[in-house]
Amino acid sequence: MSGGHVSVLLAEAVEALALKPDGVYLDATFGRGGHSREILARLGQTGRLVSLDRDPMAISAGQDIDDPRLSLVHAWFGDMGQVLDELGIAQVDGVLLDLGVSSPQLDDGNRGFSFRFDAPLDMRMDTTRGETAAEWLARADQREIEEVLRDYGEERFAHAIAKALVAARIEGGITSTGQLAALVEKAVRTREPGQHPATRSFQALRIFINRELEELSLSLPQAMKRLKPGGRLVVISFHSLEDRIVKHFLRDEARPPQPPKGVPVRAADLPPPRLRLVGKPVHAGDAELKANPRARSAVMRVGEKL
């Protein structure tokens, strides 16, 4: 825990990495450093940890870790291969990905991730590059907005919301989280009990603005390539779209490569799979859920390179 952020499945994730004291590890999503600090606590003096984060504030929060074994780099996790090359690291003993938005990002009203605060509609995890959510909403057409809300938020009222957001541009546009939440609330006719009408729209825009699913799809093959035989890939997801990508990737890597259709090959002659699945998907236990309700949607999957 650091800066009010509780790392979800902290002990379980670090255990799943099966740390070697002299190993080299990659924490591709530093956040507030909970997992990284625990890895460092268990590494030997010759071990090494590379930690990445796209959020400049996360990198700033990590500056208090004075440890020569740690390389903390401002980078997107989809660029992990390039970062490792620049550090002269060919392969690692484990890769950890803790996906989604962190508590400090949600709880800092100025970041624009949450409808709990009326703030500029930014939503970028990396505030040094890319369009804000407000800038994108100002130029996207109704069809594009509808597709993002439907595909990334699984929002069944995507059409009505997109129509309302485009109409609002005539009156000066949408520049704050409060405006966006109010417009969505007006457009959504009904919602699940206990869920704010704008929840799915905010999630969809955040995922889209930060290219979260694209980054995940880019990073998983890189992680496999960089792992040493016996190295572990540990991924913690927080919603079904992420988890589906992770589950399918691990499942496919755990199957023998398939020959072209129609080519007769005996099962015994197929090349071995590149990965084995380690255990079943892991969810937060009752004690963690009581202490940190945001852990309720977390699922951790683990694979080991063969």
Alpha-helical runs (H) found in 8-141: 10-16, 34-42, 56-61, 80-86, 103-107, 133-139
Q: What is the DSSP string of 162-222?
A: HHHHHHHGGGT---BHHHHHHHHHHH-----TTS-TTHHHHHHHHHHHTTHHHHHHHHHHH
On whether 33 is known to bind a ligand per the annotation, the reply is: yes
| Polymer length of the chain | 306
105 carries a ligand binding annotation? yes
Strand-pair category, 24-27 with 70-74 = unpaired
In sign, the C-alpha dihedral spanning 221, 227, 231, 234 is negative
Strand order in 275-277's β-sheet? 70-74, 48-53, 24-27, 92-98, 227-237, 299-305, 275-277
Residues near 164 by Cβ (< 8 Å), separated by ≥ 6? 183, 184, 186, 187
Is 53 annotated to bind a ligand? Reply is yes
Residue 55 annotated in ligand binding: no
Residue 300 pairs with which residues in a beta bridge? 236, 282
Is 248 annotated as contributing to ligand binding? no
252 in a labelled binding site: no
194 annotated to a ligand binding site:
no
Instruction: Detail the residues annotated as belonging to a binding site.
Output: 33-35, 53, 77, 98, 105
Instruction: Detail the residues annotated as belonging to a binding site for S-adenosyl-L-methionine.
Output: 33-35, 53, 77, 98, 105
